[in-house]
Amino acid sequence: MARTRERNIVLLGAPGSGKGTQAERIVARYGLPHIATGDMLRAAIAKGTEMGREARRFMDAGELVPDEVVIGVVRERLTEDDAREGFLLDGFPRTIGQAERLDALLGGAGRGLTHVIQLDVPEDELAERLAGRRLCRACGKGYHVVFDPPARAGVCDACGGELYQRADDDETTVRNRLAVYRAQTEPLVEHYRAKCILSIAFGGGKMPDEVFEQVAEILGGAAS
Ligand code: AP5
Ligand code: MG
Ligand code: ZN
């Protein structure tokens, strides 16, 4: 059956743990669609849609957007053609409620998650990573002013686009995002451990490519 080689992956981790950074590498190696709810919500804000307007006040405060909004976005995205034979979820699920809805959604289609990878990074490194993060306005590629700087400050290596700082990367909002992660998202670690699909990649003091070696070992083989 074609389904047996399907990789249906969740990247789980605190703000700044490297979900987006590892997702770039996973997508390049395994050819999966990258479904990042944070990116999709920011795109809705940029477009000025009603959903974007609703999401914005939660995101600016570092709070979670209500489950119904996010679940709706993911449900729709998972029915698109490119997600039929595997996908990479980044930043979803983020609550037990979202995880249960995702299970039901996939189960109803005879599918299920194959890997949940927790990116484990010590708390003191997270704030430093977020403070130095820069993103390309044109292509979305991520950088860090110290750990992964572009060749020319403020300019994307990949496309020449302008680099910017995310609105929720200021110190106060970061503090709240970390607290929200601990309270609402961290319980998912036990949730998925109990389902025996949890693996841990250790990111403390390791460069992105070293973390990716662990991730690739977890995911195994070449692209299916
Ligand atoms: P989202 O966009 O998902 O943000 P987040 O979870 O806070 O995570 P980040 O994107 O900040 O970090 P990351 O883990 O991707 O790290 P990155 O690779 O960039 O969500 C934003 C908001 O949207 C939420 O607060 C919420 O309001 C809303 N939202 C989204 N999904 C939702 C959901 N499911 N339910 C409800 N609300 C939702 O790396 C960070 C930096 O570190 C970069 O500069 C990078 O270059 C650097 N770096 C990465 N790896 C390393 C390394 N190994 N060593 C040194 N530096 C590194
Ligand atoms: Mg991210
Ligand atoms: Zn770019």
Which ligand number lies closest to the CA of residue 89?
1
CA 206 / ligand 2 centre spacing (Å):
18
Is the CB of residue 140 below 6 angstroms from any atom belonging to ligand 1? no
Provide the token pair at 80: 């698109």
Helix (H) / strand (E) element for 99: namely helix 96-108
State residue 222's pLDDT score.
64
Q: What separation in Å is there between the alpha carbon of 51 and the centre of ligand 3?
A: 26
Residue 197 has pLDDT above 90, yes or no: yes
Residue 101: both structure tokens together: 């809805």
Examine the pLDDT at 3 and tell me if it is beyond 60: no
User: Contact at 8 Å (CB) between 174 and 127?
Assistant: yes
pLDDT at residue 203 tops 60: yes
Q: Mind listing the pLDDT tens digit for each residue in 50-94?
A: 999 999 999 999 999 999 999 999 999 999 999 999 999 999 999
Q: Is the peptide bond before 93 cis (omega within 30 degrees of 0)?
A: yes
| Percentage of the chain lying above the pLDDT 70 cut | 97
Q: What percentage of the chain exceeds 90 in pLDDT? A: 95
The answer to whether residue 113 scores a pLDDT higher than 80 is yes
Q: 95 and 67 in contact (C-beta within 8 Å)?
A: yes
17 has a pLDDT exceeding 50: yes
pLDDT of residue 64: 98
Report which protein residue has its CA nearest ligand 1's atom 44.
Answer: 133
pLDDT at position 223: 56
Residue 220 has pLDDT above 80, yes or no: yes
Ligand 1 pocket test: which of 136, 148, 215 has the largest number of ligand atoms within 8 Å of its C-beta? Answer: 148
User: Averaged over 184-202, what is the pLDDT?
Assistant: 97
- Count Cβ atoms below 10 Å from residue 211 Cβ, excluding itself: 22
Q: How far is CA 30 from CA 8, 17, 107, 132, 178, in A?
A: 11, 21, 23, 28, 30
Ligand 3 centroid vs 188 CA: distance in angstroms?
Answer: 33
Distance 41 CA to ligand 3 centre (A): 19
- Chain-wide mean pLDDT for the chain? 95
Q: Is the dihedral of CA 17, 22, 23, 26 positive or negative?
A: negative
How high is the pLDDT of residue 4? 53
Task: Please list the active-site residues.
Answer: 19, 94, 133, 166, 177
Is the beta carbon of 15 within 6 A of some atom in ligand 1?
Answer: yes
Q: 64 CB under 6 A from ligand 1?
A: yes
Residue 2 has pLDDT above 80, yes or no: no
Between CA 113 and CA 37 the distance in angstroms is: 17
User: For the residues 165-173, what does the mean pLDDT come to?
Assistant: 95
Predicted confidence at residue 5, as pLDDT, reads: 77
Count CA within 13 A, CB hemisphere, residue 36. 16
Is residue 145 scored above 70 in pLDDT?
A: yes
Token pair 């993103």: residue: 135
Atom number, ligand 1, closest to the C-alpha of residue 93: 34
Average pLDDT over residues 118-146: 95
